[in-house]
Amino acid sequence: MDRSGSGSGTRRGFLGGAVGGALALTAGAAVTDGSGAAAAPRRTAGRAARTARRVAVLGGGVAGLTAAHELAERGFQVTVYERKPHGLGGKARSMDVPESARGGRRPLPGEHGFRFIPGIYHNLPDTLRRIPFPGNANGCHDNLVASTEVMLARTGGRENLRFPFAVVGTPPPVLTPDSFTRMLIGLLDAAVHAPPHEVAYFANRLLVYFTSCDARRRETWERVPWWTFLKAEEMSYDYQRLLAIGITRNIVATKAEIASTRTVASVIEAFVFNLLGRGADGQPDRVLNLPTNEAWIDPWVAHLRSLGVEFRVGWSVRELKPADGRISGAVVTDPRGAGQLITADYFVQAMPVEHARRTWNAAVRAADPQLARCDRLQTDWMTGIQFYLTEPTPVIHGHVNHVDSPWALTSVSQAQYWKDRSFPADYGDGTVADCLSVDISEWDRPGILYGRTAKECTREEVAREVWAQMKAGLNDSGAAVLRDGALHSWFLDPAVGGLGTPAPTNDEQLLIHPTGTWFNRPTARTAVPNLFLAGDYVAVDIDLATMEGANEAARRAVNALLDEAGSGAERCAVLRPYQAPEFAPLKSDDARRHRLGLRNAFDLG
C-alpha cells in the first residue's frame, strides 16, 4: 500500500495545504508535514456549499457513470476522469480484440468477464430503464435476456447436474419454517446430489440465517466463516464441493474457509426469494442481448453527454490535495503523461478500492479514520477469458458452473443470446460463430495440464489449461461438447500481466469478503465535507462486490452530496433488498434471544 502521500495525518497538516502551493506542484510533489492530532470537521454548511455546482467524478466505471447520471439530472456540472483510454464502464465494459476485424466487420468482442444481472438487483435495473435505447420502451433494461437453466458440470464421468429454473414450481403462498425448509430441501435435491441428511442440514442452516436478526447477522455471522457455519469439514465431498466451495468461489470469489457467512448467506437469501418470485426485478439469471458496450455502456455514455457530462479519458488520479478543511484538488496525469491539478467544488471518488486508497495521503487519512481502515480490505483475482468458436456451441441456455475445476470456472455461451447479431456476418473474420466467455475465479491452485497455478502459467498456458478443465467436465461422458477443431482463437483480459514470471499483476481485481470485512467498509459520506465515496467496496445493502453494489453506493454518495450542498433536488432512490414479511416476527424474537445471549431458535448447532 502506498503510504508515501503528503501530510502528517494531523488536522493542522490537513488544514495547512495552500491552494496556491498546490497549483505549483508537479504530479509527484508533496505537502509539508504538520503536528498534533485532531479530526477535521464533518460538515461545512453555508452559502458557498449550497450554491457550488462543479463535481469531479474520479473513475468511469459503473459507480462513476451512475454518480454522473444522477448528478447531471439534478443540474450539476459533472466531469468524469477515467484512467484507461478505453475504460468507460470499468470492469463491466466490453472491449475490442485487437486486429481481429476483417471485411468491414466489427472486432471480436472481449470482456473482463461476462455480464450477469440477476433479478435480485434493483438499483442497477432502475438506471438501465433510464438510459434511452432505440426501439426500446424501457431503455437498456429491455436488452436483458433471461436464461432458463444452470448446469453444474462434474468431472470423472459423473453426471452433469442441470437445474431448470422452472422446477421451482408454485411456492407456498405463506412461508412457515416448516414449509420453507421443505421447499429448500426440494430445490436442493433437484440441484445437487449430496446425501439427504446433509441436504436437510444445509436447508436448516439457511433457515437459521434467514430468521436471524440484523444484529446477529452483523455481530455473529459476519465473524463466522461459511465453511464453519455449514460444518463442511464433517460432510461429504459433494456437500463441500457443491454447497460450500462452489458457491463461494464461483459467486462470491472468495474461499469458503475464510468467507463471511453474512456475505455468502445474504446473497443466497436474495436468490432464494428471487426463485420464489418475491420482490424481484426479473428472472434469477439474466444476460445482455448484445456485447456490453453495444447494449449498455455506449448508449449510457451518449446519454450522459446529452445531459452535459464531460469525459476525460486517459486521466489517472495520483493524489487528493487538502486545503482549508476540504479537498482543493486532485493531482492527475493526463494522456500525455503530464501532471496537472484539477479542481472542483465536490469530488466523488468512484475508483476501485485498491486504486482509491493510493490517492489518500496521510492528511486525508487523518481526517477520516474509515479511510485508513480501507487498507484492510482485500482483493483477489477473478478474470475472464473468451474462446471464439467456428461453430455454434450453446452448451445450455444459461451459465455452466464447472464445480470440479481446480480454477473454479464459470462459463456462458453468448451467441444464443445475441439475436440481433450474426457472429460470422458482424464480427471478426467471418469464420467465428460463437463466443464462450469464461470467468477464472481461482488463480492460486495447480491445474490439470501443467501442474502449475494460473499465475505461474503463461497466457497461452492459461488458455490451454482453461480449455482442458472445461472439457474435463463437459466431454468426460463421451459427448464432444467442446471440439478442439472448432477453437478459432481466445482473448484473455489485458488487465492481467506478467503471467509465468515471478511478479504477475492484475490491474482489475475484485473485492473479497473474509470474515470481518464489513467493519472495514466505509460509508459513502466521509468526514471531509466535499469528498464522497462510490464503489462496490462502500457499505451498501448488497454485501458483495457487484455492479448493483457500485450503483447503490453511487446513489448514496450523490444523496450525501446533495445534503452537503443544501440542494432542494429530489434524492436518489435507494432500493432495498426484499424481506419476507412472514419472517419479521421470527427475526424480532431472534433479536430478543440475541440480546440474552441465546442462539437462534432453529439453530441445531
**pLDDT for 167:** 63
Distance CA 217, CA 230 (A): 15
**pLDDT for 49:** 39
Phi, psi of 2 (to 5 degrees): -80, 105
To which H or E segment does residue 412 belong? strand 409-413
- Point out which residues pair with 319 in neighbouring strands: 331
- Point out which residues pair with 383 in neighbouring strands: 440
**pLDDT for 28:** 31
**pLDDT for 180:** 82
The pTM assigned to this predicted structure is 0.89
Profile the chain (605 residues) by mean pLDDT over runs of 10 residues. 32 33 30 28 34 88 98 97 95 96 96 92 97 98 95 88 74 81 77 82 95 98 96 92 78 79 93 89 94 98 98 97 94 95 97 96 95 95 96 94 93 96 96 97 96 98 98 90 97 96 95 94 97 96 91 98 96 94 96 98 91
CA dihedral 12, 14, 19, 22 (to 10 degrees): 120
**pLDDT for 50:** 41
Phi, psi of 224 (to 5 degrees): -105, 125
**pLDDT for 52:** 55
Tens of pLDDT, residues 443-482: 999 999 999 999 999 999 999 999 999 999 999 987 889 9
Tens of pLDDT, residues 123-177: 999 999 999 999 999 999 999 999 999 888 989 888 888 888 876 666 677 788 9
Strand positions, DSSP E, 87-146: 94-96, 109-111, 144-146
Count Cβ atoms below 10 Å from residue 392 Cβ, excluding itself: 12
Distance CA 394, CA 397 (A): 7
Region for residue 368 given its phi and psi (left: phi exceeds 0; alpha: psi -120 to 50; beta: otherwise): beta
**pLDDT for 48:** 36
**pLDDT for 185:** 83
Whether 442 and 249 have beta carbons less than 8 Å apart is answered as yes
Complete domains list, the chain, with CATH: 11-83+314-377+522-565 (3.50.50.60), 101-147+382-506 (3.30.9), 172-276+580-595 (no CATH)
**pLDDT for 169:** 60
**pLDDT for 164:** 84
